[in-house]
Amino acid sequence: YANNINKVVAKEEVQTKTKSNNKPEKKSQNQNQTPISATITTTNLDDLGGTMDNRYSTGVQKYHNNDYIGSKDTLESYLKDNPNDFNALYYCGVSCYFLNQYDSAITYLEKAVKYNASTYLETAQWYLALSYIGKNENKKAEKLLNEIIKANGSFKTQSEQKLLELK
């Protein structure tokens, strides 16, 4: 399974580069825009040797088509058999976030963040912080936003802005 994750990450890194300068694209994010990870292309089963469960790929496809209900339902089914799949936890959690199902989003994203093992980690932390805010758990959100800022990654500016809004 770990080898499959590396293949997914490698493919996504290649497909998120621009054609003109071969540098990663920068996308701005706020709650009213397309989810950040929607810019990441799904991997087809051939790239993974056909080993991926069809429910996972179907759930991710639904996510990328903004069918968050379908994505959540499909990925929850998949997670019953694969409860430690970081990517499935991430996509399911973010789908719940966009459905304003903050309790479920927090459950999935906390598990995903705990694994600390993917290119989606910072994005998972961001959506977890937003889910805390959605539930008015602002102290938890502030702590996580400060961690994101300290990491100095691509969500630093958004996290700083969000902290100012919470004050």
pLDDT digits (tens, 9 = 90+) for 18-63: 333 333 333 333 344 445 444 333 333 333 333 457 999 999 999 9
Calpha distance 37→58 (Å, rounded):
16
Residue 82 has pLDDT above 90, yes or no: yes
Name the percent of the chain lying above pLDDT 70: 68
Nearest to 94 by CA among 57, 133, 132, 68: 68
Angle between helices 86-98 and 102-115 (to 10 degrees): 150
DSSP state for residue 37 in the 8-state scheme: G
Give CA angle at 119 (117, 121), nearest 5°.
65
**Is 116 buried (19+), middle (13-18) or exposed (0-12) by CB count in 10 A?**
exposed
Q: When comparing pLDDT for 116 and 89, which is higher?
A: 89
Banded model confidence at residue 167, pLDDT cuts 50, 70, 90: confident
Q: Span 65-84, mean pLDDT?
A: 96
DSSP state for residue 50 in the 8-state scheme: T
Residue 67 has pLDDT above 70, yes or no: yes
Q: Show the tokens assigned to 156.
A: 């630093």
Residue 148 has pLDDT above 70, yes or no: yes
Mean pLDDT across the chain, nearest whole number?
77
Calpha distance 73→70 (Å, rounded):
5
Q: Show the tokens assigned to 41.
A: 């292309």
Q: When comparing pLDDT for 105 and 21, which is higher?
A: 105
Calpha distance 52→1 (Å, rounded):
9
Banded model confidence at residue 89, pLDDT cuts 50, 70, 90: very high
Q: What per-residue confidence (pLDDT) applies to 60?
A: 96
